Chain A
Amino acid sequence: MRATVYSGRNTVQVENVPDPKILNDRDAIVKITSTAICGSDLHLYDGYVPTVKRGDIFGHEFMGEVVETGRGVSNLAVGDRVVVPFPIACGNCWQCEHEMYSLCENSNPNAGIAEKFFGHPTCGIFGYSHITGGYAGGQAEYARVPFADVGPIKIEDDLTDEQVLFLSDIFPTGYMGADFCDIKGGEVIAVFGAGPVGQFAIASAVLLGAERVIAIDQYDYRLQMALNKAGATDVIDFSEDADIVEQLKVLTGGRGPDAVIDAVGMEAAHGHGALHAVERVKQANRLESDRGHALRDAILACRPGGIVSVIGVYGGLMDKFPTGAFMNKGLTMKTGQCHVHRYLRPLYEHIRAGDIDPSFVVTHRLGLDLAPDAYETFKHKQDECMKVVLKP
């Protein structure tokens, strides 16, 4: 089969690789009909995630048709149309039983590597380095889905792939980010990063009843999508004024937003001044792994007693974490890789009910063979690119 494989820093190629096979009774093989490039794939692409090897298949947002199942999979049949969540979860361990699926204790065969980085292992993830199990990803024609009796959700409507594909990752991720904000109605929520995850965080905050949702980014087309499609009420374009904290105070009468969502993560681009220069140099020389501009500003901007919700991906270590601001303002931080399985059914029902059409983020639909150009287009935000869906 053809698949997008890592070929070195800032390079992927579409190559012929062996087809996946059933290895375990709880596996299924899915013929992929749609797959997407995620912002977190760019951390792999840019060489910031250790243990990625040449030849690794990328991709953790995919869906398709079940073509084979192991003997232990009774809930799926050949021909079923499914969306596959990006975290791989066994359904039986303590974490899964508590709906913390991205912390599954059984699905990462390279738990020892993850334990060295994080203190404890976390779940396996499709196509996301050997720290998360070395599973082949879904930017391919077929994928082996472990624990298929737990993960995939069957799609039984006439919804298009683009309407349901993002149940695999970015819609539940954005929703979890908003869910973390404890929205009861009337809150002001700020969202750092108007990329695809940020768009869904904004839309989810709107769905949950936030009074105002402020989108923050430096690209006008992303801010326009946030306003026109995702339901943002205000925008901050920090390419014009880099002092985001001050601008948020102005928008909130000096109080600051009730909750702030960091949908940016480790490759934050909005730093300014000497600190940004120092961080960029340190990261390029691998003296620190994570750029913390977004998280730092999120903590400084959030009103005292508020919530900082971190759904942007971080991988290692960051300098100058504002512990003083965090502690003295009595902030709560909630974070994690999304427990996708927890949100699949409720969000699917939202889509079916017409509350949201997730396909709004798709700006590019391309054949799988254009993956190398698609990665470059997505990374460099060319052609007003928001989200790329690849068709094998």
Chain B
Amino acid sequence: MPTLPRPIDSTLHGVTDYTVGTLLMTAFPKLAGIEGTESASQVRVAGAIHAGYSTVTDYPLGIVKLLPYKAHLAIDALGAIAVAATPFLTGQWTKGRRHWVPHVGLCLFELMSLAMTDPTGKGDFHGDIEAVRQANLEDPHRKIYNGGPAVTRTSA
């Protein structure tokens, strides 16, 4: 079965975390037409929690590097499902589509993002390193570590 490419490295994932977290706390409720409803509060809380644990994740954009990156991804997945489930657990979904569609939409977005995220953090390095190594007429390690200096020190 063909698999999706996973081009999102840990830096880009962090960019997404902070961008989406900030949007959820600010403009998203108004844009989604849920401002003033309990859905807006739920989305804001979800955004704050997401941005919060991003700041303590051990990845390039983490401020305090405590939470392992893979644990962060696991929390992303669980959190996405929790967001989607919330309207159905509270019964608010009966009030109409705007009380559950944004939640499910955010869940699907998050899961798609995770599906495209490289859990090793490296992202989409799409070069053929073996082809490069075989074709290379230089020996990088020797160039760096062997031999003397390439420049003569001058006394000015």
- Which chain B residue has the least Cβ–Cβ distance from A279? B61
Instruction: Give bound CA distance, A360 to B14, whole Å.
Output: 37
Q: Say yes or no: is B141 at the interface (Cβ < 8 Å to chain A).
A: yes
A228 to chain B: which residues have CB within 8 Å? Answer: 144-145, 147, 149
Are the C-beta atoms of A284 and B135 separated by less than 8 Å? no
A280-B61, A356-B150 are contacts. A366–B135 as well, Cβ < 8 Å?
yes
Are the C-beta atoms of B132 and A231 separated by less than 8 Å? no
Q: Which candidate, A76-84, A327-335, A377-385, is the interface stretch facing chain B?
A: A377-385
For the complex formed, measure the closest distance between the CB of B154 and the CB atoms of chain A, giving whole angstroms: 5
Are the C-beta atoms of A366 and B55 separated by less than 8 Å? no
What 0/1 readout, one digit per residue, does chain B (110-135) give for beta carbons within 8 Å of chain A?
00000000000000111111011101
Q: Say yes or no: is A246 at the interface (Cβ < 8 Å to chain B).
A: no
Secondary structure type dominating chain A contacts: helix
Are the C-beta atoms of A185 and B156 separated by less than 8 Å? yes
Are the C-beta atoms of A382 and B63 separated by less than 8 Å? no
Instruction: Give bound CA distance, A228 to B154, whole Å.
Output: 17
Q: Which candidate, A136-144, A151-159, A200-208, A254-262, is the interface stretch facing chain B?
A: A200-208
B14 to chain A: which residues have CB within 8 Å? Answer: 277, 280-281
Are the C-beta atoms of B63 and A274 separated by less than 8 Å? yes
Cross-chain contact of A364 among B62, B136, B156 (Cβ < 8 A):
B136
Q: How large is the interface on A (under 10, 10 to 19, 20 to 34, 35 or more residues)?
A: 35 or more
Instruction: Give bound CA distance, A384 to B19, whole Å.
Output: 33
Instruction: Give bound CA distance, A123 to B19, whole Å.
Output: 37
- Which chain A residue has the least Cβ–Cβ distance from B127? A376
B126 to chain A: which residues have CB within 8 Å? Answer: 10, 376
B53 to chain A: which residues have CB within 8 Å? Answer: none
Interface residues of A in 119-144 (CB under 8 A from B): none
Q: Say yes or no: is A346 at the interface (Cβ < 8 Å to chain B).
A: no
A280-B60, A354-B152, A382-B125 are contacts. A363–B19 as well, Cβ < 8 Å?
no
Interface residues of A in 220-251 (CB under 8 A from B): 221, 224-225, 228-231
Q: Say yes or no: is B155 at the interface (Cβ < 8 Å to chain A).
A: yes
Instruction: Give bound CA distance, A207 to B14, whole Å.
Output: 42
- Which chain B residue has the least Cβ–Cβ distance from A391? B137
A-B contact count (CB 8 A): 138
Are the C-beta atoms of A284 and B15 separated by less than 8 Å? yes
Are the C-beta atoms of B149 and A231 separated by less than 8 Å? yes
Q: Say yes or no: is A373 at the interface (Cβ < 8 Å to chain B).
A: yes
Instruction: Give bound CA distance, A364 to B147, whole Å.
Output: 17
Are the C-beta atoms of B137 and A365 separated by less than 8 Å? yes
- Which chain A residue has the least Cβ–Cβ distance from B61? A277
Q: Say yes or no: is A17 at the interface (Cβ < 8 Å to chain B).
A: no
Interface residues of B in 47-80 (CB under 8 A from A): 55, 60-63
Q: Say yes or no: is A276 at the interface (Cβ < 8 Å to chain B).
A: yes
Are the C-beta atoms of B132 and A373 separated by less than 8 Å? yes
Q: Say yes or no: is A362 at the interface (Cβ < 8 Å to chain B).
A: yes
Cross-chain contact of A229 among B61, B131, B150 (Cβ < 8 A):
B150
- Which chain A residue has the least Cβ–Cβ distance from B64? A273
Instruction: Give bound CA distance, A319 to B153, whole Å.
Output: 39
A377 to chain B: which residues have CB within 8 Å? Answer: 127, 129, 132
Q: Say yes or no: is B97 at the interface (Cβ < 8 Å to chain A).
A: no
A10 to chain B: which residues have CB within 8 Å? Answer: 124, 126
A355 to chain B: which residues have CB within 8 Å? Answer: 151-152, 154
Q: Say yes or no: is A367 at the interface (Cβ < 8 Å to chain B).
A: yes
Interface residues of A in 38-80 (CB under 8 A from B): none
Q: Say yes or no: is A20 at the interface (Cβ < 8 Å to chain B).
A: no
Are the C-beta atoms of A386 and B144 separated by less than 8 Å? yes
Interface residues of A in 282-302 (CB under 8 A from B): 284-285
Are the C-beta atoms of B138 and A363 separated by less than 8 Å? yes
Interface residues of A in 357-374 (CB under 8 A from B): 357-360, 362-367, 370, 372-374
Task: List the 9 closest A-B pairs by CB distance, nearest first.
Answer: A209-B156, A376-B127, A185-B156, A360-B150, A363-B140, A365-B137, A384-B140, A277-B61, A373-B127
Taking Cβ atoms with an 8 Å cutoff, the residues of A that contact B are: 10, 183-186, 203, 206-209, 221, 224-225, 228-231, 273-274, 276-278, 280-281, 284-285, 354-360, 362-367, 370, 372-377, 380, 382-386
